[in-house]
Amino acid sequence: MNIARLDSLVTHTPEWWDNWVADGYDKDTNKFYAGEKFIIRLKSSPAAYVWGEVDFGGSVGKVNIPQSALKLVSTSTYEYISEAELWRDDLVKIKNGGYMFNFHSMHPVNSLYKQADDHYIIEIVGDIYDYFQFHQRY
């Protein structure tokens, strides 16, 4: 067993899953519209805590995802699952392009900690206002 393991997923709310699937994408596509709520799911070997960050540049800048935002939703002997929702008013201002979420976990190993890291890349392909205007016309 890997003492320090971390796997990340940044996905959509169920409402946005429906929108993406209706447009021909997998529900866990890494494409997003600026202004969507990000659902973060981290699977790790038992960790003392997890946290993350993403830099959207421009007027939004770096967004921290503190350990207090990530709630432990499932535990077993070998795996913890933590989840968070990331949304702020200014996220609608994210420019089109690729962005990398960086996640980290600290794992107790005797009296020391071992850190694990994982990354998840998303692509912003417009904003929620563009999406709804498009669908209102057609």
d(CA 5, CA 40): 16
Taking residues 13-27, report their average pLDDT. 94
**What is the per-residue pLDDT for 138?**
46
d(CA 35, CA 126): 9
CB 12, CB 124: distance < 8 Å: no
d(CA 54, CA 61): 8
Q: What is the pLDDT of residues 74-131, one digit of tens each?
A: 999 999 999 999 999 999 999 999 999 999 999 886 657 789 999 999 999 999 998 8
Q: And the tokens for 6?
A: 């971390």
Beta bridge partners of 6: 44
Q: Which of 24-28, 64-68, 94-98, 112-116 has the lowest mean pLDDT?
A: 112-116
Which phi and psi angles does 122 have, rounded to 5°? -120, 165
**What is the per-residue pLDDT for 31?**
97
Q: And the tokens for 10?
A: 């940044």
Give the pTM: 0.90
Structural domains in the chain? 6-137 (2.60.40)
- Chain centroid offset of residue 51 CA: 11
